Amino acid sequence: MAKNRFSKQWMRRHLDDPYVKLAQQKGYRARAAFKLIELLDAENLMKPGDIIVDLGAAPGSWSQVARERLLGPDGTLQGRIIALDILPMEPIPGVEFLQGDFREDTTLAALQQALGGQQVDLVISDMAPNLSGIRVADAARMQHVCELALEFAVNHLKPNGALIVKAFHGSGFSQTVQAFKSTFKRVVERKPKASRSESAETFIVGRGLKVTKEPALSH
């Protein structure tokens, strides 16, 4: 009974959420679109001609935003968007989608093959592991996901490229930030207005590579 009541409360709050309503109005697949929009505007990132990799892309709202930002004056897509997720994703015109687990070497190899040697302007990652409710275990899983995104960025970003990842405050967060500071010339932490106040999520933005070798996170 309590669980059912909680579910009803969540649904009511979800339907009353202004960002949910705005996403429906604008045709975005999730309210998360507005988190990315705020991050991009704050950092002046993403423009026509860029090559974008969207990790943890499903259901596709971040790829939708990226597509909008890469449209040229004539309405054609200028640049590339390669999206990846372990879950299937409904097609988005001009977005190349790969389905697979980013933690597996075969998926990473497929993504590298899709890039065809091209360097990337921006990696965006809304990836999060399935959470168990055990805080220490969940923090370790989230740290690992951030580490994988960071390693990918080091190997594939242009020297002045950028990486945006979702992270959770708690155990391992400070180590993740430190790894970013060892890797990028500029690092900022941002919690967009569209991020719910009770959520532990914070987005870390790194810009301009300092190093060209794979970084190591402290464990």
- Rounded Cα distance between 185 and 207, Å, is 6
Asked if 90 contacts 59 with a C-beta cutoff of 8 angstroms, the reply is: yes
166: annotated active-site residue: yes
**Are 81 and 122 contacting, i.e. CB atoms less than 8 angstroms apart?**
no
Catalytic residue among 166, 181, 185, 191: 166
d(CA 162, CA 156): 11
DSSP string, 159-195: EEEEEEEEEESSTTHHHHHHHHHHHEEEEEEE--TTS
Both structure tokens of 214: 């794979």
Per DSSP, the three-state class of 17 is coil
Instruction: Collect all residues with Cβ–Cβ distance below 8 Å to 31 and sequence separation of at least 6.
Output: 17, 19, 20, 22, 23, 61, 194
- Please check whether residue 84 is in contact with residue 92, taking contact to mean a CB–CB distance below 8 angstroms: no
Active site residues: 166
